Structure 1
Amino acid sequence: MDPGKGSSDSSPLPSIPKEPYKDPDDGRQRFLLELEFIQCLANPTYIHYLAQNRYFDDEAFIGYLKYLQYWQRPEYIKFIMYPHCLFFLELLQNANFRSAMAHPTNKELAHRQQFFFWKNYRNNRLKHILPRPLPEAAPAPPPAGAATAPAPAAAALPVPPTAVAVSSSQKTENTRGSTGERRKRKYNN
């Protein structure tokens, strides 16, 4: 029998390694590279660069973007410093968005919207965080069979001194700002 031509039953099987591949740094380098890449997605200019260089035409790259969605899980999201990258990663799953980001006007629009979000984020957030005054509680109607007693006169609650001081200082600032800052301009003829 010729050694180059063997029967199917006598062909040697490829040797299976006894131990699987072990990453020397336990995946730390891969983790850091993926974290860096995903955070770059928070920049609309970088997404525009990827679109201009036709990365979004490569099916392997699209698959990689789908794979990176694991960063939205709580155990990974805590490492992300730029949360807009997750928003853009979600948008990049859509083919229409990927093709639209190739145009410079869409890049500028995304950049402007991101700027306005950052500019107003604190004020919008404070609207939901700051405590609001509780609404006045309406007295509950008495039960049908109960005798009604005359209601005691409601005593006015004292106003805390700090609230009075704040309101008076605000009043002086408002009057000073409205009259003191107005000045007449002289125009040369």
Structure 2
Amino acid sequence: MAASKDNEEASDAPSSPKKVYKDPDDGRQRFLLELEFVQCLANPTYIHYLAQNRYFEDEAFIGYLKYLQYWQRPEYIKFIMYPHCLYFLELLQNANFRNAMAHPANKELAHRQQFFFWKNYRNNRLKHILPRPLPEPSEAPPPAAAPPLPPAPPVLTPVTAAPGPALSPMQYGIPPGSALMKNDMRSSSIDRRKRKKDG
């Protein structure tokens, strides 16, 4: 009977507060681990790996992906270095996308699209960011003036045949018998051929 009284008194006493888990480093380790995982989602190959190993069939993992959407808030997004991870995190909320990423062809398609985005993003963005020059004010057209005359065609003089053998283009303007003519490549090659035949 005394034991039952002690139990009743213990149950009437206010229950002691439950111990709340306190991170030894104030959540820094958890923050870094979640940041690293979220940024891994920028890689379609990693998403394919998760799909191949059936992580997307685990309800707890799907809940974790839903929980990680807090990284889209401004106070956290400033820590993200690879913004594509947030785009893929959003796509991973859809079951069709999770199932599709199990196929290698879809992984390759996502890689190609990501590459084309990176390749053209800056130029496309600059088109919309850079200010366009203002149109010049339209002025009244000047009074009609006579159109400019086309230049006169050059006058061609007839060429008379030079006496003797035709000169090579390299020999024009060089007097025959000069030292320059003797060093001409064509004439020296002809001399060598003649020597071979004679010899």
Q: Could you say if the C-alpha distance between residues 92 and 7 of structure 1 is closer, same or farther in structure 2, counting changes exceeding 3 Å?
A: farther
Equivalent residue, structure 1, for 2:74: 74
2 CA distance for matches of 1:33 and 1:6?
Answer: 51
TM-score, with normalisation over the residues of structure 2? 0.62
Name which structure has the greater RCO, CA cutoff 8 Å, separation 6+.
1
Displacement, 1:50?
Answer: 0.4
CA RMSD of aligned residues (A): 2.8
1:107–1:135 distance in 2 versus 1, CA, 3 Å: same
What is residue 98 of structure 1 aligned with on the other side? 98
* Per-residue deviation, residues 124-143 of structure 1 (Å, max 9, x unmatched): 111122221113568xxxxx
User: What is the one-letter code of the residue matched to 2:17?
Assistant: I
Aligned residues with identical type, % of pairs: 83
Partner of 1:129: 129
In the alignment, does 2:16 pair up with 1:20? Answer: no
- Code of the aligned partner of 1:82: Y
| Whole-Å separation in 1 of the counterparts to 2:121 and 2:32 | 28
Q: Measure, in 2, the Cα distance between the counterparts of 1:7 and 1:137.
A: 98
Cα 1:14–1:57, aligned 2, differ >3 Å: closer, same or farther? farther
1:48 corresponding residue in structure 2: 48
* Per-residue CA distance 1:132-189 (angstroms, 9 max, x = gap): 1113568xxxxxxxxxxxxxx99xxxxxxxxxxxxxxxxxxxxxxxxxxxxxxxxxxx
Q: Deviations over 1:3-39 (max 9, x none)?
A: 6x9998567586424x633211010000000000000
Q: TM-score, normalised by structure 1?
A: 0.65
Which digits, 9 at most, give the CA deviation of each residue in 1:81-117, with x for residues without a partner? 0000000000000000000000000000000000110
Tell me which residue corresponds to 1:109.
109
Deviation, structure 1 residue 65: 0.4
Q: CA, structure 1 residues 8+103, in 2 after alignment: closer, same or farther (shift >3 Å)?
A: farther
- Change over 3 Å in CA distance of 1:45–1:136 after alignment to 2: same
- Equivalent residue, structure 2, for 1:32: 32
Q: How many angstroms does 1:122 deviate by?
A: 1.4
Structure 2 partner of 1:143: none
CA distance in 1, matches of 2:60, 2:7: 35
Structure 2: gaps of 5 or more residues = 142-199
Letter in 1 for 2:129: I
Larger CA deviation: 123-132 vs 71-80? 123-132
Unpaired runs of at least 5, structure 1: 139-152, 155-189
Per the alignment, residue 146 of structure 1 pairs with none
